[in-house]
Structure 1
Amino acid sequence: MAAIDSISKRGFAETTLRHVTEKAKLSHGVVNYHFDSKEALYDATLGFLAQEHYAIWTQYLNAVGPSAAERLEAIVRADFDKKICTRKRLAVWFAFWGQAKYRPNYLKIHNSFDNERHDEIIACCTEMTPEGADQSADVARATRIIESMVDGAWLCLMLYPDVTDRDVSRDDCLHSLARMFPDHFPNTPSP
């Protein structure tokens, strides 16, 4: 948690092991014992965030029925859970994503937890998309839209905290699902 606090306040460039050790109230030696470099600490921090997100969305998924609509709604709701959808955590997620091009290990860590979620979204979209000549393209498009919609909502929550709200953003995403798949989300209220 100390690394999350520091990265959210200072970003990568300004975060030092000293900041982390002071926040965690640990000696520098203890931190060095567990992490041989600042990069190793960053890898562990990203792994923690990715594993935390994985645990939340799978918990939501396991609590709903078997229909594709229920499963997809659960995944989207999980992305706005108050434990993971905080300004601090979002700032750290975006810090990591901003570095992923230069540090491929970040994508490897992220994807090791997120690929299953992505596959589940594809499966849900496949079940809800009518069969036809363009089904594959429609499923791929719907999956991209859903991923972009949630990531965009997260970005707005981080950048504009005074004018965006976690619950409203979640409901906007659910409303968009209902517009994409009206036969599967007939009871979703309009915002």
Structure 2
Amino acid sequence: MQADRKPRKQRKENARMRRRQVLDAARRSILRHGLARTTLATVAEEAGLSQGVAVFYFDTKAALLTETLRDLYQGYEDHWQGALDAAPPDAAAQLQALVAADFDLAACGPELLPLWFAFWGELHFQPSYDAVAEDFDARRREVLTRIWRDLLPPSRAAEAPCHADWTETLTDGYWQRMHLSAGHIDRHHALAATRAAIARLAPWMDARA
């Protein structure tokens, strides 16, 4: 029995590593060829594998690209959730941690922004991409809304969803500017400007941080 289990465990780990290899190759292919010209063949070439291996894990190009987007979102969610877990529990510190995480290289590095915008440009044309984005975005909005509800005076708690949207719009807007105007604006400036805008939304926050 013991001898039986080990090979199965090894096969499972090998499959996980091979799947990771294909997903990483898909990212490189998108950066090199663009989303439209990425195929199972270009991904297999990037991974140094046969096309049959890519097909084994992802039946079609559409399935592979959808999982690549899901993987991109999962990495981002793990990143900002880790920042929240490491921050003090009060709402002001949580918001500051969340915003700082948004402008970390792990969220918007030069190898990540082109991937985000490649997929976002197709959201309305690919229902599977849209579904992935909405799933992750809903959890993110829920967290931001909760933080703002705790930050705002009780009489203004109903404004929390709007403040959450403004916060996300700041991140999205600066990500877009960094992507389209690389060299003219960097993530440090974007973080400082976002913090300044949030200070206008909640001028009392520094006193509570």
Give me the TM-score of the superposition, normalised by structure 2.
0.83
Separation (CA, whole Å) in 2 of partners of 1:8 and 1:27? 20
Separation (CA, whole Å) in 2 of partners of 1:160 and 1:75? 24
The one-letter code matched in structure 1 to 2:115 is V
Separation (CA, whole Å) in 2 of partners of 1:83 and 1:184? 26
Q: Residue in 1 aligned with 2:161?
A: 140
Identity of aligned residues (%): 33
Q: Residue in 2 aligned with 1:34?
A: 57
Count of residues in correspondence between the two structures: 186
How far off is 1:187 after superposition?
Answer: 9.2
Q: Residue in 2 aligned with 1:160?
A: 181
Q: Residue in 1 aligned with 2:124?
A: 101
Stretches of 4+ moved more than 3 A in 1?
A: none
How far off is 1:186 after superposition?
Answer: 4.4
In the alignment, does 2:150 pair up with 1:127?
A: yes
In the alignment, does 2:98 pair up with 1:75?
A: yes
Separation (CA, whole Å) in 2 of partners of 1:118 and 1:187? 22
How far off is 1:64 after superposition?
Answer: 0.8
How far off is 1:62 after superposition?
Answer: 0.4
In the alignment, does 2:77 pair up with 1:54?
A: yes
Q: Which has the higher helix share?
A: 2
8 Å contact kept, 2:87–2:97: yes
Q: Residue in 1 aligned with 2:3?
A: none
How far off is 1:8 after superposition?
Answer: 2.6
The one-letter code matched in structure 1 to 2:93 is E
User: Rg bigger for which structure?
Assistant: 2
The one-letter code matched in structure 2 to 1:73 is Q
Structure-2 change in CA distance of 1:187 and 1:82 (3 Å): farther
- Compare 10-19 and 60-69 and name the one that shifted more: 10-19
List runs of 5+ in structure 2 lacking aligned partners. Answer: 1-23
- What root-mean-square deviation, in Å, do the aligned CA atoms of Structure 1 and Structure 2 show? 1.7
SS of the residue corresponding to residue 12 of structure 1 reads coil
Deviations 1:1-58 (A, max 9, x none): 2211222333221212222111111111111111111001101101110110011001
List runs of 5+ in structure 1 lacking aligned partners. Answer: none
Q: Residue in 2 aligned with 1:17?
A: 40
8 Å contact kept, 2:92–2:208: no
